[in-house]
Amino acid sequence: MAYIKFEKEKLINLEYSLQRELLRTNRTGAYASTTIIGCNTRKYHGLLVCPMEDIDDENHVLLSALDVSVIQHGAMFNFGVRKYPGGNYEPKGHKYIVNFEIDRTPVLTYRVGGVVLDMERILSEDDRILIKYTLRDAHSKTLIRFKPFLAFRNVHKLSKANIFVNNKYAEIENGIKVRMYDGYKALNMQFNKKVEYIHVPDWYYNVEYQEEQNRGYEYQEDLYVPGYFETEIKKGESIIFTAGLKEINPKTITRKFSSEVEKRIPRNSFIDCLKNAAQQFIIKRNKKTEIIAGYPWFGRWGRDTFIALPGLTLYNGDLKTCEDAIDTMTNELKDGLFPNIGTGETTVMNSVDAPLWFFWTLQEYLKFSKDKKRVWENYGSKIKHILDNYRRGTHYNIKMHDNGLIWAGAPGKALTWMDAIVGGKPVTPRHGFPVEINALWYNAVCFALDLAENNNDKDFIKNWEYIPDMIQLSFNEYFWDEDKKYLADFVTYDYKDFTIRPNQLFACSLPYTPISELKRERILETVRKFLLTPKGIRSLTPHHPDYKGVCVGNQEQRDLAYHQGTVWPWLLGHFAEAYLKIHGKSALSFLEEILYNFEEDIINHGIGTISEIYDGDPPHSPRGAISQAWSVAELIRIHYMLQELKNKN
């Protein structure tokens, strides 16, 4: 039996099945995503979503859906599912689904009368979706019809019927190619056998996406159908439909499908699911290697890249991809800062912590490369560049003050990972000396000095050797409260914010820490008592008046809850690391329970992956992006840490 499996009773229950989504990326920027029954509930859903460099360098939905119908004795049964106004679903293909399971690929089984049809999908690296239909059983002549629904629009927008669409097509071998609008590449739709194409261009109006409606966005779309394909299918026969940006030789389609399947990591255990999911965030395109922060709407984020990179690559035995991603990011370093979001002219460098997480990523990299000389040779100049800019000052008032601590803050800006802004103002204003920034700063300076000493860089040592003591002294003086037994979240010269938040965790987990073991133990107890949940660490204690236990509603409502109680799985990596440093093997069962609490989530929200966030209140429902890089990465890292400790004598 497959590890991931859904039976008919759950599949035909729309309240259940529409909450569960599939994702497959191809590591070059394209992806395919929909619900487990094939009904799109987001504007981001589609069977072929590709980056369009010639238009805006963002992802565009080309093939939104593909309706498949079987015809016997003049009766047609459509396996598609779409929602229309009034809560109407038409067609209602989900009622024919009898089974869904995943190993290397997802397989959906339909049954109607004597017909049993399997459908499985795969996305290849050449921006191509391949969908295989196998007729397992039939007792009479069977026709199969394919009707493609096209969008040709940016993932963040919706399509409306218009007179500008190009409704022409060109025949290619075993299919056609279409291009709805100028500026787009043509979509080539082909089969592994000859089929008949009937050209009947039409619009389908007011298709609804319930998740967009729930999130307070525009949610109705018009989709274009150029026509349909039809052919006979015999019992035991497999027909493969493919859509891509390039034409393919139909004789190679069957072989290509089989070879692509063999490349996939089987999803037959919780850990294998995490490893499979980890690969989907890695994008190699145009000689760059980048990490997508999450699907379906995130792009590359500098902060998320450095935090997620070790778990996605190093702990999966992929040193080279880690190196390539680091090199891609360091090529864009400017004024001591890395891009937070965007590229080129749209780049925004508003992250105070991304450059400091770069040091931690190098520390993780060293665990596997074991070569301090090479790290200093390759990245020493970047390390010095960051430290020098933070010391003398750079954008957004980021600067080391005379006390050795890093100050950061600018009007209307949120520079830390708690970056939600509503009405032009940060929801969690933390201008001043943020606790995790200064924990990261101490770690960065100490690590740089260690590398310099190993490489005999006397000038660097002379300029920086007294700084760690200064930071350590100020850190304890400014942040620690002996009565409260935990660290302030941020401080200024005349104010200390002792709101209980998870940011103090990093002073306990990083390789170099400015606080004693006793203080770390007490901090961890505070975090465990007030912030730890089965799905991650809360961003704010429930006892605070600003706490919001559910992250739902429109964008403003969600942003107000995003860092005010919402649970973040990625923080568990640093909680586990800090906890192991204090408690050692006695922590194994406790941390294993935390890790395997997520096994049930493999069949919730994003299938085979881990969500971005969870509600702060029980039952801690998954929210946000269905698959988040640092959520997956840190659970992989926790698993590795626990296995490593188990294997020690």
Contact 377, 395 (CB under 8 A): no
- Residue ranges, the chain, pLDDT below 70: 1, 649
Question: Distance between CA atoms of 208 and 229, rounded to whole angstroms?
Answer: 25
Q: What is the dihedral of CA 425, 431, 434, 437, to 10 degrees?
A: 80
CA 122 to chain centre: 19
Beta partners for 637?
none
SS3 119: strand
- Given the candidates 2.20.28, 3.40.50, 1.10.3470, 2.70.98, the CATH classification of the domain at 4-263 is 2.70.98
Q: pTM of this prediction?
A: 0.95
Beta partners for 545?
none
Closest CA relative to residue 180, chosen from 203, 211, 197: 203
For tokens 């400014």, the residue is: 478
Amino acid 346 reads T
Residues composing the chain: 649
Beta carbons within 8 Å of 28's beta carbon, 6+ residues apart: 125, 126, 127, 283, 284, 285
424 secondary structure, DSSP code: T
Phi and psi torsions of 605, nearest 5° = 60, -100
Question: Distance between CA atoms of 202 and 224, rounded to whole angstroms?
Answer: 6
Phi and psi torsions of 648, nearest 5° = -75, 145
Q: 220, exposed or middle or buried, with CB in 10 Å at 0-12, 13-18, 19+? A: middle
The reported pLDDT for the residue numbered 649 is 62
Structure tokens at 78: 């459509």
Question: Distance between CA atoms of 257 and 192, rounded to whole angstroms?
Answer: 10
CATH code of the region 339-516:
1.50.10.10
Contact 539, 502 (CB under 8 A): yes
The reported pLDDT for the residue numbered 230 is 98
> DSSP E strands: which ranges in 56-127?
58-72, 75-78, 81-84, 88-92, 97-102, 106-112, 115-124
Beta carbons within 8 Å of 233's beta carbon, 6+ residues apart: 70, 133, 135, 138, 142, 143, 144, 239
Report CA torsion sign: 242, 247, 252, 258.
negative
Half-sphere exposure at residue 4, Cβ-oriented, CA atoms within 13 angstroms: 32
Q: Report the run of H or E that residue 567 belongs to, with start and end.
A: strand 567-568
The reported pLDDT for the residue numbered 279 is 94
The reported pLDDT for the residue numbered 57 is 86
The reported pLDDT for the residue numbered 343 is 74
Structure tokens at 515: 């606080």
Instruction: Break the chain into its structural domains and give their ranges.
Output: 4-263, 285-331+531-649, 339-516
Phi and psi torsions of 599, nearest 5° = -60, -35
pLDDT tens-digit profile of 238-250? 999 999 999 999 9
pLDDT tens-digit profile of 303-345? 999 999 999 999 999 999 999 999 999 999 999 999 998 777 7
Question: Distance between CA atoms of 236 and 475, rounded to whole angstroms?
Answer: 70
Question: Distance between CA atoms of 562 and 400, rounded to whole angstroms?
Answer: 29
Question: Distance between CA atoms of 209 and 215, rounded to whole angstroms?
Answer: 10
SS3 198: strand
Order of strands across the sheet that contains 4-7: 4-7, 97-102, 106-112, 115-124, 128-137, 238-244, 187-191, 175-178, 170-172
Question: Distance between CA atoms of 25 and 48, rounded to whole angstroms?
Answer: 10
CA 262 to chain centre: 24
Q: Is the peptide bond before 569 cis (omega within 30 degrees of 0)?
A: no
